[in-house]
Amino acid sequence: MLYELTEEEAMLRDMVRDFAAKELEPKAEHYDQTETFPHEHFEKMGELGLMGMLIPEEYGGSDMGLFAEVLAVEELAYSCASTAITMAVHNSLVTGPIVRCGNEEQKQEFLPGLASGERLGAYCLTEPNTGSDAASLEMTAVKKGDKYVLNGTKSWISTAGVSGVMLLFARTDKDAAKKKEGISAFIVTPDLPGLTIGKEEKKLGLRASNTVQIILEDCEVPADRLLGEENTGFKIALNALSAGRIGVAAQALGIHRACLDESVRYSQERHQFDQPIANFQAIKVKIADMAMELEAARWLVWQAAKLRDAGQPCIKEASMAKLFAAEAANRAAREAVQIHGGYGYMKEYKVERLFRDAKVLEIYEGTSEIQRLVISREVLA
């Protein structure tokens, strides 16, 4: 599907590119090496409309849609993938479901703060024993009067340690005929008694993003924090994941493009055998493949985002975009390090960070293996 950016879309892309170059690029290495979460940027991003891209204007959002979010995420990821994924999770996995499934009181209470960037959103699905098999989650929610009492643990939750709003999934019906039919979604805030934030995880990449465990012990969540109807949470989770996967694919585009640009620049500056290494056929082949796969990935990501914005089915397209873009970004990161040689192995060079940041693209929001199962299921249906 051939698509050219409108004037407004190009302006948004250029605005975010300028913000990332000025605000994120100079600090990204420091954030990574010190594992510092970049708190200071998110309210500014809220002012730019980047934290409420899926939120209607009446609740303080910019309501620009998922395609606009894709453009923004790529530009942020080019400079700082940790900031990009925090913003993508916040928009696609938290604000999106509240907009689609929340009642008016929930929207009024939570969306304005999320749109401004004052409150960050976290998506709480994964558990110690349930990753790819999310329908087998073990956290329980038992209704008692006007509250639900939640018990269990969530693991590897992005942004939860610094969030103000969590979209959390728990089992409300242990006896449901199918495991996925007994799950509900809740809007949870970190101030609730019985909710404990665990230690921050030490990660290979995305070291400036916040990843923690959440422990709930007899945590009483008001019944009016139930999102949608009881026992429909798994549908909410899967719907959000389609958008989330497109957001991860956009993150992959930013990392991939940074790998390409760093490789082009270095290969033209680095001389061996009395000439730039860009003159060598082996380097040209690597750069050609990186450039080709970036363009192919971008069209897959853009198509999926456009389908989502149009309200069209996009399960297959979202998985294709996420799978191809993630694997292409990892190939680009490996080749970027190889082109840089020994320098690429040093932390002083950006490609070392890009290499580490790229790996998780093939793991979170559904592994590459899961994406292939989803795609095959849709094709064979």
Q: Which of 200, 231, 262 marks a domain boundary?
A: 231
- The backbone torsions φ and ψ at residue 74, rounded to the nearest 5 degrees and listed phi first, read -60, -45
What digits encode the pLDDT tens for the residues 99-150?
999 999 999 999 999 999 999 999 999 999 998 999 999 999 999 999 999 9
Q: Which residues are catalytic?
A: 365
Residue 258, pLDDT > 90, answer yes
Instruction: Say whether both 266 and 321 belong to one domain.
Output: yes
Last residue of a domain, one of 98, 119, 140: 119
Return d(Cα 362, Cα 332) in angstroms, integer. 13
| Pair (290, 354) in one structural domain | yes
Digit-coded pLDDT (tens) for 282-321: 999 999 999 999 999 999 999 999 999 999 999 999 999 9
pLDDT at 2: 54
Q: With a cut of 70, say whether residue 1 has pLDDT above it.
A: no
92 and 171 belong to one structural domain:
no
- Residues 281 and 363 placed together within one structural domain of the fold: yes
Boundary (domain end) residue, out of 203, 231, 259:
231
CB neighbours of residue 13 within 10 Å: 17
Asked if residue 133 and residue 96 are part of one domain, the reply reads: no
Determine the structural domain holding residue 188 and report its residue range. Answer: 123-231
26 within some domain: yes
Residues 88 and 70 in one domain: yes
Residues 365 and 243 in one domain: yes
Distance (Å, whole) CA 97 – CA 240: 6
In a domain, 2, yes or no: no
Averaged pLDDT, 355-380: 97
74 and 198 assigned to the same domain: no
CATH code (residue 114): 1.10.540.10
Categorize the per-residue pLDDT at 152 as very low, low, confident or very high, splitting at 50, 70 and 90: very high
pLDDT band at 4 (very low <50, low <70, confident <90, very high): confident
User: What digits encode the pLDDT tens for the residues 203-233?
Assistant: 999 999 999 999 999 999 999 999 999 999 9
Residue 186: the pLDDT is: 98
DSSP of 204-267: SS-TTS-EEEEEEEEEEEEGGGEESSTT-HHHHHHHHHHHHHHHHHHHHHHHHHHHHHHHHHHH
Are residues 129 and 26 part of one domain? no
* pLDDT of 278 above 50: yes
What CATH number corresponds to the domain at position 214?
2.40.110.10
- Count the neighbouring beta carbons within 10 Å of the beta carbon of residue 265: 11
Q: How confident is the model at residue 176 (pLDDT cuts 50, 70, 90)?
A: confident
Residue 1 lies in a domain: no
**How many domains is the chain built from?**
3
**pLDDT tier, 266 (very low <50, low <70, confident <90, very high otherwise):** very high
pLDDT in tens, 66-89: 999 999 999 999 999 999 999 999
* Residue 243 belongs to a domain: yes
Residues 131 and 112 in one domain: no
170 and 258 both lie in a single domain: no
Contact (Cβ atoms closer than 8 angstroms) between residue 233 and residue 169: yes
- The pLDDT assigned to 3 comes to 73
User: Mean pLDDT over residues 334-356, rounded?
Assistant: 97
201/282 same-domain check: no
What share of the chain in percent tops pLDDT 90?
Answer: 97
